[in-house]
Chains A and B, each alone.
Chain A
Amino acid sequence: MADISSNFLGIKSPNPFWLASAPPTDKKYNVLRAFEAGWGGVVWKTLGSQVKNVSSRYSAVDFGGQRVMGFNNIELISDRPLHINLKEIAECVKLFPDRAMIVSLMADNDKKSWHEIIKKVEDTGAHGFELNFGCPHGMTERGMGAAVGQDPEIACMVVEWVMEAATLPVITKLTPNVHSVVPTGRSVVKAGTNALSLINTIQSITGVDLDTLVPNPYVAGKSVFGGYCGPAVKPIALKFLTTIAQDELTKKVPISGIGGISTWKDAVEFMLLGASNVQVCTAAMKHGFRIVEDMCEGLNNWMDEKGFKTLDDFIGKSVDTITHWEDLDINYHHIAKINQDKCIHCGLCYIACEDTSHQSINLEYGKPYNKYTIKEEECVGCNLCMLVCPVDKCITMEEHRVAPEYVNWIEWQKRGLPLNDH
């Protein structure tokens, strides 16, 4: 059995799965249920400024008959009285001393407010802070949340205030509502943050109601841009994560990965790309806390299969495989192959290639089943057919190198090799 226990900035948890700062972590009742279900830790829903919430608050994107492929919310930070939150945090820490308790903060934009709240939270026995520089709605209009995260200088200033007062480890949570997370990341690392977490939600409109003609979520005939999360944002989160994991400065601090993680597989992918642990919200909001069971078991089984004994054995292992386009090997070539024994003759590979790609699949008419084969000389190895094929491993990509030697784009140009030759 692999050891899936996690140590993030000295904060220990029995597994690397934390619940992200969000509605599931806004009170004792939920948090105790989460701990009972087996979650390694929680980031308590953001405390700080005074707010008032609206109704409704959430909306979702469904896809292909599946609910909540993407999810957005217009809820603000915690709207419960601070003293109750603090009391409940202390009680949760006492009841589950082996779990991580991080408290998310977003104070008003002055040093005093930050220092005050830090002091109060430290008294609860919590293990660390996460600074909410990411919330993209409601708080931004007041110059908070994403408004801080989008400006490296302001972010730096706030982190400096925090570091003056905090004795506990500090994680700074980054907003993806920027063209790059690296400038703010660097800035807050310089200011002394102990770790980074990303991504927060992405500004979005999930859709428009075709009867009322008002976008979702609906609030008295209006809506606002909400923070997008859930499985749909995972690829974007992975990209931002990798840029932080590759940057010379930001890679020096641990990263907590967030963004559409629903399964142990998602979690492993985040960790391979540099996250030391992960935070989950939408998947739990859709299915409840019980999903952590399979996350732990799946992670464990995968580690055993691959021979990884601890999380550190694989964290960051894939970071260096993301390279620059001009470093890719142009002599690498692969060609699709259709396994006729597995083919169910649905024609999806054919029509995708024929209409939208390189006309590299041959259709031999049959009634009712056509036969589909690859025109090897036409196939550019784009993967489209394999991606749309509904049968596992029916279409595989077979390596057919153009030449044995590695030649990248720069070298290709230098040698004057042929261009636009397809």
Chain B
Amino acid sequence: MIQNNRLTPIQYQENFSDIHPPYENITAAKVDANRCLFCYDAPCMKSCPTSIDVPKFIKQIATENIKGSAHTIFTSNIMGAGCSKVCPVEKLCEGACVYNLLEEKPIPIAKLQRYSTEKAMANKWQLFQRKQSIGKKVAIVGAGPAGLSCAHSLSKEGIDVTIYEKESKGGGLMTYGIAAYKVTPQFCEDEVNYILSIGGIEVKYNHELGRTISLAELQTNYDAVYLGLGVGVARQLDIPGEDMDGVVDAISFIYHLRKNGYPSVPVGDKVAVIGMGMTAIDAATQAKRLGAKEVTMLYRRTEDEMPCTKHELDIAMLDSCEIIWLAAPKEVIGINNKVTQLVCSKMQLGEPDASGRRSPIETEETFSLEVDMVIKAAGQVPFEHLITENGITNNKGKIVIDKNCATNIKGVFAGGDAVNGGKEVVDAVQAGKDGAKAIMAYLNIA
């Protein structure tokens, strides 16, 4: 049965508390900071999409220059606080830490980054001074990581920025699409406010491109436009029964949970989650933590090809989620339009596909799971209609940009998930920086 309010307030609190607690104090942070070797041309830095100078900020913790440390982080990544909580660091900075080559535990870079950035946010350190307004105006669509990063970079240089955001809060998928035990709604709000505190950035919430505003208007009223509008709809499974009650998409599920609070979110007794990306993990673990009795994750390939990290998979397994590899959904069966069963095909691996991973091939065999809820987390699709409608060149809805982040329309730039189809927050932050740089060049600002 699908129902909400399954747990007591204390259970909700326990289930959604911080999964990686921070350092208690500077002494604890320094124990790890002092272990850092301070590598030259450091592999961790090279593995960060925003190129945070990791050895430098860690050294600054060791010397108790926390303000300097936060400045080092935010200079490269204005969402360094959020990234310290949501980055898949085991495949980025921490995965590259040279200690791994000694078979030793890597430096807990994310935890150290969280230490400095949280101090900065808590103390409201204003580490960047905005230049005086130079009279140029830029419109940004989307107050997600790409948009905020772009806005901050531009505002620093004295450009007046207006962000148009369709939701009532900023942060994008950071606010609406990530498991709550990684970042709390309050944290997301604080982070957005901290970024905006530089000044020169106005955010117009509940303004959606194509509904309340048009691209033409923005082009007329601003010197340049940056599209950081992300991706939207969950990918359809295209199987019979997909529209029954009890089939939901992961992004809406997490969105609901983040927006309306844990007790209000209905969850089934037996939940199937389709997919094995970060969002699938977030959906599965949160379903479990909302009180689902059984959660089964299905993936059409094997552990070797899964998009999530081993660390993420471990979280799901520690939450007692079942994993079935080489299984693809074939049909949703229900009674009175309510889900009762998910029929799956057993798959096998064939030749590598375009992604380089071995592709799943259907076998004759099927099996079925007794479930009352199916969460689809097989990726998201871009806003193809909106983008095409505005005459923007795209590839299956993904905006096509040149090396200067420019779209086919003069003065209109883009970046982030809207361009790459959906990557990490840290990738979007870098895209925002790149976009800002390109816009500066376009506006002839040195």
Contacts and interface: CB of A to CB of B under 8 A. Distances in A.
A406 interface: no
A370 B42 CA distance: 9
B47 A368 contact: yes
Contact of B43 (A363, A368, A390): A368
A346 B34 contact: no
A369 B96 CA distance: 8
A404 interface: no
A367 B102 contact: no
Given A345-B98, A346-B98, A65 B40 contact: no
Contact of A369 (B40, B43, B62, B99): B43
Nearest to A369: B43
Contact of A65 (B39, B42, B62): B62
Interface stretch (A89-97, A170-178, A248-256, A347-355): A347-355
B202 to A, nearest CB: 39
A64 interface: yes
Interface string A28-71: 00000000000000000000000000000000000011000000
Contacts of A368: 43-44, 46-47, 96
Nearest to B101: A344
B96 to A, nearest CB: 4
B62 A350 contact: no
A205 B70 CA distance: 32
Contacts of B101: 344-345
B109 to A, nearest CB: 13
Interface residues of A: mostly helix, strand, loop or mixed? loop
Nearest to A350: B40
Nearest to A354: B40
Contacts of A65: 30-31, 33-35, 62
A369 B46 CA distance: 9
A391 interface: yes
Nearest to A63: B34
B113 to A, nearest CB: 18
A391 B39 CA distance: 13
A390 B37 contact: yes
A363 B102 contact: no
Nearest to B38: A348
A237 to B, nearest CB: 27
Contact of A348 (B34, B39, B44, B102): B39
B365 interface: no
A367 B40 CA distance: 13
B41 interface: yes
Contacts of B35: 65
A351 B40 CA distance: 7
Interface string A383-422: 0000000110000000000000000000000000000000
Nearest to B42: A347
Interface in B98-131: 98-99, 101-102
Contacts of B102: 344, 391
Contact of B39 (A64, A346, A363): A346
Contacts, number: 45
Nearest to A351: B40
A65 B44 CA distance: 22
B298 to A, nearest CB: 34
A369 B43 CA distance: 6
Interface string A320-347: 0000000000000000000000001111
Contact of B40 (A64, A346, A390): A346
Contacts of B37: 346, 348, 390
Interface residues of A, number: 16
Nearest to A64: B34
Contacts of A390: 37
B397 to A, nearest CB: 30
Contacts of B41: 347, 350-351, 363, 370
A212 to B, nearest CB: 16
Interface string B11-36: 00000000000000000001101110
Nearest to B93: A368
Contacts of A346: 37, 39-40, 42, 98
Nearest to A389: B37
A93 B102 CA distance: 51
A378 B99 CA distance: 30
Contact of A344 (B31, B62, B98): B98
Nearest to B100: A344
A390 B43 CA distance: 16
Contacts of A345: 39, 43, 98, 101
B30 A347 contact: no
A391 to B, nearest CB: 7
| Most A CB within 10 A of own CB, among B31, B40, B43, B102 | B40
A87 B30 CA distance: 47
A347 B98 CA distance: 10
A369 B99 CA distance: 12
A147 to B, nearest CB: 39
A347 B34 contact: no
Interface in B70-115: 96, 98-99, 101-102
Contacts of A347: 39-42
A363 B38 CA distance: 17
B217 to A, nearest CB: 43
B430 to A, nearest CB: 15
Contacts of A367: 46
B241 to A, nearest CB: 46
A161 to B, nearest CB: 51
B49 to A, nearest CB: 12
A364 to B, nearest CB: 11
Nearest to A367: B46
A279 to B, nearest CB: 31
A351 B33 CA distance: 20
A368 B101 CA distance: 12
A359 to B, nearest CB: 14
A65 to B, nearest CB: 3
A65 B37 CA distance: 12
Given A350-B41, A351-B40, 9 more contacts: A65-B35, A65-B62, A345-B98, A346-B39, A348-B40, A351-B41, A363-B41, A370-B41, A390-B37
15 contacts: A64-B34, A64-B62, A65-B31, A65-B33, A65-B34, A65-B62, A344-B102, A345-B39, A345-B98, A346-B39, A346-B40, A347-B39, A348-B37, A351-B40, A391-B102
3 smallest CB-CB distances across A and B, nearest first, come from: A65-B34, A347-B40, A368-B43
